[in-house]
Amino acid sequence: MKKRLMLCVVMLSIVTAVLAQDAKVVAIADSLTRVSRYNNNGWGDTPEAWTLQEHLKKMASNDDLVALARSHRNGAARATAFRLLVARCDSRYRDILYSSLQDTACFRVQYNDIIGSSNVANYMVNVLTYHWDFQSLRDSIYMDSLLRSEPELMKKAPHLYETFVRKPTVTDFRRIFTKEDSVTLDSVLFFTPNMHHIGRLSSILENLPTEERYYERLHQMYYDEGYTNALPALLRYHREADKPAVIECLLEYSKGLDERHVINGPEGRTNEGLEAVALWPDPAFLPALREVRNYEVTRTHYDYPRIRLFYLALMAYDDENSYNFIDETLRMTGRDKTTRQYHLKFFREAYDSSPRPRYESLLNKYGEIRK
């Protein structure tokens, strides 16, 4: 009788401890409303989210993480639980990933003293794909600016990788998420409608071969689903029917901007149109490009990417008319010192990224560009 009583006491103690542990895990997840990628907030303190993540890492079992990743009410908790599950090489991550691709719940992501945002599906995909595509690492606001300002950090990529999924090693990880798995995921993202909330889709389109079998899907993405980033890929096919879409995008240069050129609403698709022109420099786009130019040289609040894309688009023509167009534009910017400074800077960047001998003399003509 005593043995049975002792056994009951032990069993009750174990159950109580397990329930208490489960309650602590749930409480941690309930408090996890943002994700922190580093253990420093940029000011010498440890972000609260980092502390909570570390507690969850120590206390949660794999089964706990599966439950949290599937159904916890906080998007940040679902995303963190998924990352920890992947770090433990638990193959159950796969079902969670594919069942979460429509999870657009947003949450804050802290990179030291920079606060960005993500959604659950996008975060989960990035956790998996950065092993195979370094671009996904560079996509974050913090890492992109850091790597641009400190090129030597590129040599420390293995160390940077460890800040995303600390254990196990990349080799271990690739045993459960292979290159073939990555290709399958990319295919699902491409052919499944309305995956625009997942950033990797842009990278997929950038690297997509210009094959006839993909045109229909790209057409659907742009015209039916409204995914503007599909336009450059669509233009690689050089279809006459797609020219009006490019012109329409280019002419949205002032959309979402007030009279002072400050953003006050959803911006137009001019930048995507410029990217498309760079892939198909057709004379039909030149009148719209002139309108873009005439607007941009009068701005007092500048769109730096647009200026660079504008010059890349013009240089894609690689002819005398485009040379004169650029020369005329640079002369027009001389009316304002700041405008000229930025146009010279981004013309130089565009030239350096896609050198064409025809335009080199403009670098010499505007010698201050080489400062």
Residue with tokens 């329930």: 19
Count the neighbouring beta carbons within 10 Å of the beta carbon of residue 62: 14
Q: Is the peptide bond before 266 cis (omega within 30 degrees of 0)?
A: no
- Is 350:311 a contact under the CB 8 Å cutoff? yes
Bridge partners of 107, per DSSP, are: 118
pLDDT band with cut points at 50, 70 and 90 for residue 369 = very low
Q: What is the pLDDT of residues 169-213, one digit of tens each?
A: 444 556 678 888 888 999 999 999 999 999 999 999 999 999 999
pTM of the complete model:
0.77
Cα distance between residue 165 and residue 368, in whole Å: 45
Give pLDDT, residue 37.
Answer: 85
pLDDT band with cut points at 50, 70 and 90 for residue 2 = low
Q: What is the pLDDT of residues 283-313, one digit of tens each?
A: 999 999 999 999 999 888 888 999 999 999 9
Cα distance between residue 208 and residue 156, in whole Å: 29
- Is 112:40 a contact under the CB 8 Å cutoff? yes
- Which DSSP string corresponds to 178-221? -HHHHHHHHHHHHHSS--TTSTHHHHHHHT----HHHHHHHHII
Cα distance between residue 199 and residue 132, in whole Å: 15
Cα distance between residue 328 and residue 235, in whole Å: 27
HSE at residue 54, side-chain half, CA atoms within 13 A, is 11
Give pLDDT, residue 282.
Answer: 96
Give pLDDT, residue 148.
Answer: 44
**Does 226 score more than 60 pLDDT?**
yes
Give pLDDT, residue 189.
Answer: 95
Q: Where are the beta strands (DSSP E) in the chain?
A: 34-36, 106-111, 114-119
Going by C-alpha positions, the residue among 233, 157, 239, 176 that lies closest to residue 201 is 233
Helix (H) or strand (E) holding 143: helix 141-149
